[in-house]
Amino acid sequence: MLDLRIYRAAFVPVLLALVVVAFSLETRPRPFTADLPPDAFDGPRAARLVDDLAGRFPERRPGSEGDMALAETVADTYSDAGFAVESHDLRAETIDGRRTIRTVVGERPGRLSGRVVVLAHRDAAGSPATAALSGTASLLELTRLFAGRTTSRTLTLVSTSGGSGGFAGAADWAARVSGPVDAVIVLGDLGGATARRPQIVGWSNTRGIAPQRLMRTVDEALRREAGPPGASGALTQMLRLAFPLTVSEQGVIGAAGLPAVLVGASGELGPGAQDGVDPARLEAMGRGVLRAFTALDQGPDVVPSGLESIVVLRNQELPLWAVRLLAGALLLPPLLAGLDGLFRVRRRHEPVLRWAAWVLALAVPFVLGGLLLVALRLAGLVVAPAAPVVPGAIPVSVGALVAALAVLALAFLLLWPLSARRLAVDAPDSAGAATAIGLTVLAVAVLVWVRNPFAALFLAPAAHLWLLAVDRGMRLARPLRAVFVLVGLVPFALAALGYAVALDASPLELAWTGALLIAGGHVSFLSLLLWSLVAACAVAALVAALRSGGDDVPAGRGGGVRSRGPIGYAGPGSLGGTDSALRR
């Protein structure tokens, strides 16, 4: 039973948090710049090289003969330019299952400590995938440019495989690299005929984004040579930080703790298999990459390593601590009101723990559905790389999705009545059930807030609305209670819609992408457990809302036992004639 006075009073810290957040904005760091014109990058030569490679290696599935032959060509080019060459083979999960893929590294030492890395993948899911080769062609053109040039920092050129899905080569290189890495520039399709913004991507597969100084340095270089590369809005940034996911190669490098950005004409989705090359765009973006490398190489200090969890608002940074403060303040009103309601219910000796166990049992079907997807991958029935893949790279397996939904439904049918009998609970229309549901939601929200305050912001509306929807003291009609529960799910629906638009995925493709994230291990077991609990709370709240109309609850502030004054009392002694107890 909630006391709405406590609930309303707890919004005062929210107002204070908003004031603090408003004054927490910081100026973004200035970019490194280079005055040396990047005219040495020969766009027509690079375009001819793209056509030559596409003709010689039209089929380049990861680990295929064409992929390996192109790796040898890259290694020979490195060697001819005077780079120290290292090749590394590994067995890894790709879009074709486990394959042996090769990473080729060429390196020239600089005068100073530190390293600037330029990386591109060779493989492609389709054929001839000409535009996808523009990154490798640009890498080889940079090799020719730096054959006789001395750099301040060590220049490392990396050619990987697995970029068509899973990014196993890039992830393996990032795990094995030794020594300081100042920046990694990942080359996408620099000359693809289809342009898609933003063309600079710094998202990681863990929570965070590449350092702003690196982002701004590459942005400034590309802007001067190829025009504005575009940028993500504040809502998109919040989404990417709340639910980290990117389908481009810099994601696995950033997850290893290295500062990495992708530069590509078609953004993180990459080009289509039939896309051609625009020589003018290839020259402009190639020169932008060369200008960015020169700025980083000649910069006064190194770019900060690791990832940053910030949101850019009108060229200013909102730091992580401010987001954590705001998310915590938003969770405070339902938390205080929920704890007060718990004490009220316990004074009435209503069961709470049994109902909390019932809510936790509702999470089991969701966990089992996720574990089935992992089991299908381990059995070789589903191909799921460890990193996210572009929708469509791995065909949708309707059978796997149906199997997961069947396990989910069957577990509900079996566990729902079993858990109710074991826990001796009936319909969740009591104050104890409402308190257990509300506090379970809040407990999960607090755990999410500790791990990721950006995700907690998406969960905050549910923490408020579901607590109010199931409260027995709120005189709300059943349809309105159900609306409260469904509105609490709107932020998650908007998050799914945001990723559907960003990944250009249909609802079925988006569902399959989510299944692959779970099967491949991108979604950890702890994350699967937490979001299964959120789903369980949603189901429990909806059932409780539909079973409770609130008509049998007396009106008042927060419900519960009410005390009556003289005006409201008409019992014996109200009109006089009752002797005082002091004389007896």
Question: What's the pLDDT at 561?
Answer: 43
From-to residues of CATH 3.40.630.10 in the chain: 29-313
Q: Give the span between the Cα atoms of 458 and 235, in whole angstroms.
A: 11
Q: Which two tokens stand for residue 270?
A: 């990459």
Confidence of residue 304 (pLDDT cuts 50, 70, 90): low
Confidence of residue 433 (pLDDT cuts 50, 70, 90): confident
452-465 pLDDT, tens digit each: 999 999 999 999 99
Question: What's the pLDDT at 554?
Answer: 42
Confidence of residue 349 (pLDDT cuts 50, 70, 90): confident
CA distances from 557 to 185, 208, 434, 435, 573 (A): 60, 44, 17, 17, 28
Q: What angle is formed at CA 522 by the lines to CA 267 and CA 59, rounded to 5 degrees?
A: 50
In this predicted structure, the answer to whether residue 379 has a pLDDT above a threshold of 50 is yes
In this predicted structure, the answer to whether residue 199 has a pLDDT above a threshold of 90 is yes
72-112 pLDDT, tens digit each: 999 999 999 999 999 999 999 999 999 999 999 999 999 88
Contact 511, 397 (CB under 8 A): no
Q: What pTM was estimated for this model as a whole?
A: 0.90
Q: Give the span between the Cα atoms of 101 and 171, in whole angstroms.
A: 12
Q: What angle is formed at CA 357 by the lines to CA 354 and CA 361, rounded to 5 degrees?
A: 140
Residue 537, Cα to own-chain centre: how many angstroms? 22
- The number of beta carbons lying within 10 Å of the beta carbon of residue 280 is 13
Q: Could you write out the three-class secondary structure of 134-175? A: HHHHHHHHHHHHCCCCCCCCEEEEEEECCCCCCCHHHHHHHH
Question: What's the pLDDT at 416?
Answer: 82
What is residue 583's DSSP assignment?
G
Q: What angle is formed at CA 579 by the lines to CA 574 and CA 583, rounded to 5 degrees?
A: 145
- At position 303, the amino acid (one-letter code) is V
In this predicted structure, the answer to whether residue 484 has a pLDDT above a threshold of 80 is yes
In this predicted structure, the answer to whether residue 398 has a pLDDT above a threshold of 70 is yes
Range from 288-302, 335-349, 561-575 carrying the lowest mean pLDDT:
561-575
What is residue 22's DSSP assignment?
H
pLDDT cut 70: percent of the chain above it: 92
513-566 pLDDT, tens digit each: 999 999 999 999 999 999 999 999 999 999 999 886 544 444 344 444 444 444
**Of 315, 284, 135, 309, the residue nearest 216 (C-alpha):** 315
State the sign of the Cα–Cα–Cα–Cα dihedral 271, 273, 279, 280.
negative
Q: Give the span between the Cα atoms of 116 and 291, in whole angstroms.
A: 13
**Of 282, 1, 306, 24, the residue nearest 130 (C-alpha):** 282
Residue 449, Cα to own-chain centre: how many angstroms? 15
Contact 458, 525 (CB under 8 A): no
Q: 278 or 580: which carries more pLDDT confidence?
A: 278
Residue 7, Cα to own-chain centre: how many angstroms? 31
Q: Is the peptide bond before 198 cis (omega within 30 degrees of 0)?
A: yes
Question: What's the pLDDT at 568?
Answer: 44
Question: What's the pLDDT at 348?
Answer: 84
CATH topology of domain 29-313: Aminopeptidase (3.40.630)
Q: Give the span between the Cα atoms of 474 and 370, in whole angstroms.
A: 36
Question: What's the pLDDT at 8?
Answer: 93
Q: What is the mean pLDDT of the chain?
A: 90
Contact 358, 436 (CB under 8 A): yes
Question: What's the pLDDT at 305?
Answer: 67
Q: Which two tokens stand for residue 233?
A: 């809005």
For the segment 133-144, the average pLDDT, to the nearest whole number, is 96
For the segment 315-326, the average pLDDT, to the nearest whole number, is 95
Range from 180-184, 268-272, 465-469, 568-572 carrying the lowest mean pLDDT:
568-572
In this predicted structure, the answer to whether residue 12 has a pLDDT above a threshold of 90 is yes
Question: What's the pLDDT at 306?
Answer: 76
For the segment 465-482, the average pLDDT, to the nearest whole number, is 90
Q: What angle is formed at CA 510 by the lines to CA 506 and CA 512, rounded to 5 degrees?
A: 120
Question: What's the pLDDT at 35?
Answer: 80
In this predicted structure, the answer to whether residue 497 has a pLDDT above a threshold of 60 is yes
Question: What's the pLDDT at 559?
Answer: 43
Q: Is the peptide bond before 38 cis (omega within 30 degrees of 0)?
A: no
For the segment 224-243, the average pLDDT, to the nearest whole number, is 95
- At position 286, the amino acid (one-letter code) is G
Helix (H, G, I), strand (E, B) or coil at 464: helix
